[in-house]
Structure 1
């Protein structure tokens, strides 16, 4: 029954683009199956000079089975044009690291990408034509990419960024939020709820003004 359940779980397919998003989905999948440790850390085999105990032999057999399972899943999770990159990998960790190094880049490349994303987050501002929801989507996209590179971006930092980069028409609600809310405990969901409610009030006022003009 367990095998049939696992077979029904959708595994995202990597076609060479958006590696960061794919790798996060795969990590979550492996965590859900208690297989992430095999991917991330691999496993060690007893030294040839030692005689493993029955317990060690059983553990090694289990690790080898899990490693083969993960390697098979990774092979199925890439398109045929990507598969040759990992077809020579003998362990899941080797296959995972091969994809990571090629498509996410080495540490230096990752640092450069992260610096670019930090600059993008620093400079992003709301457009006059945007709604709060649309603007948050742009901010969230940058933040998600930074988190994919292991950057620790707290909700507090996201909220602070949004509050200082909204257009002038949001000044009254921003002031109200800063005076009445504890930013350190305010959630992004609560913030967006307040901003969207404020937008609706503004829209109703504009509609009333137009109707009055006629």
Structure 2
């Protein structure tokens, strides 16, 4: 398979009524690569073969006829379903091409109006803070190429001037460096874009470094907080494993298994089974809570009261006797 036959399998750009100039450039290049553009440029007529033609005449006749048929088929394939009915009755590739050009390219006046509108759009462009140099330059290139497709000259120097004037303030350092070291009237568009993109990449690298440092610091703070919290939890667990902890400066413990109170340890309980009372000599309690000790105290208090009453009665009787 030769190069021409393999290239014919490449899909053509289908024209749907928009961007005719762009489609025309692509289609012309496609047909020229297939050696079919001659049928559009010359629009030659295929004459019938003479009587008793030679082999060379037959071969030339078939080649010209085949080339013209292929050209027509390519143009039919290169338009959408909505445009095809308008050109399907045309006989030659030249007629099809001229019809599409007159219908969608417009006359000189209309093309001039398109150029003016594109020029105005170009002049109103300003770089946004969120845009990169590539995104902004692509917008300018798109407008400039549309102007060029309409047949108007648009030099790269104009794009250079537009970029240097309308980029954001963060690129002022690169622009000042170029002004001091180079002649801006001679600098190419590629050099301007490379210089600005280099500064943009350096800024992004610094920002990534700053962001990475901030993330590391935040991670360390989070780890420190988690470690601190972990230590606190371990401390609380250790305190919880202990039977006693302080709460509001008051010692609190689990209920005593002997007396069910929570203000002392079991080993200091007065009601321990192994405790022996020094007052009554019995086991199971301490002398501080000994009931016999309390009863003896109550009996002693009662005897003291009786003794006081007797003394008071005797005093009263003696005073009465002396009065008589």
- Shorter chain as denominator, the TM-score bin is 0.7 to 0.9
Output the CA distance in 2 between the equivalents of 1:15 and 1:22.
Answer: 9
What SS class does the counterpart of residue 79 from structure 1 fall into?
A: coil
Match of 2:93 in 1: 92
Match of 1:123 in 2: 124
1:29 correspondence with 2:36: no
What SS class does the counterpart of residue 138 from structure 2 fall into?
A: helix
TM-aligned CA deviation for residue 161 of structure 1: 2.0
Output the CA distance in 1 between the equivalents of 2:192 and 2:43.
Answer: 45
TM-aligned CA deviation for residue 57 of structure 1: 10
Output the CA distance in 2 between the equivalents of 1:74 and 1:190.
Answer: 40
Match of 1:8 in 2: 9
Structure 1 residues 83 and 201, CA gap change in structure 2 (3 angstroms): same
Match of 1:43 in 2: 43
Write the mapping of 1:135-150 to structure 2, written as runs, cut at 5 A. 135-150=136-151
Match of 1:78 in 2: 79
What SS class does the counterpart of residue 16 from structure 2 fall into?
A: coil
Output the CA distance in 2 between the equivalents of 1:180 and 1:203.
Answer: 25
Match of 1:175 in 2: 176
TM-aligned CA deviation for residue 184 of structure 1: 6.0
Structure 1 residues 59 and 203, CA gap change in structure 2 (3 angstroms): same
| Contact 1:35-1:70 within 8 A present in 2 as well | yes
| Contact 2:174-2:199 within 8 A present in 1 as well | yes
Structure 1 residues 184 and 60, CA gap change in structure 2 (3 angstroms): farther
What SS class does the counterpart of residue 94 from structure 2 fall into?
A: helix
What SS class does the counterpart of residue 204 from structure 2 fall into?
A: helix
Output the CA distance in 2 between the equivalents of 1:181 and 1:31.
Answer: 42
Segment drifting more, 157-166 vs 54-63: 54-63
Segment drifting more, 79-88 vs 6-15: 6-15
Output the CA distance in 1 between the equivalents of 2:185 and 2:67.
Answer: 42
Match of 1:190 in 2: 191
TM-aligned CA deviation for residue 88 of structure 1: 2.2
What SS class does the counterpart of residue 162 from structure 1 fall into?
A: helix
Structure 1 residues 104 and 167, CA gap change in structure 2 (3 angstroms): same
Output the CA distance in 1 between the equivalents of 2:91 and 2:194.
Answer: 50
Output the CA distance in 2 between the equivalents of 1:162 and 1:59.
Answer: 55
Output the CA distance in 1 between the equivalents of 2:45 and 2:118.
Answer: 41
Query: 1:29-51 CA distances to partner (integer Å, 9 max, x unpaired)?
Result: 12323333432x333559xxxxx
Q: Which runs of 5+ in 2 are unaligned?
A: 47-53, 218-324
Match of 1:67 in 2: 68
* Number of residue pairs the alignment of both structures matches: 206
| Contact 1:42-1:92 within 8 A present in 2 as well | no
| Contact 1:85-1:99 within 8 A present in 2 as well | no
Output the CA distance in 2 between the equivalents of 1:192 and 1:198.
Answer: 10
TM-aligned CA deviation for residue 115 of structure 1: 0.9
Segment drifting more, 126-135 vs 185-194: 185-194
Q: State the TM-score, normalizing by the size of structure 1.
A: 0.79
Which structure would you say has the larger RCO, counting Cα contacts within 8 Å and 6 or more residues apart?
Answer: 1
**Which one has the largest radius of gyration?**
2
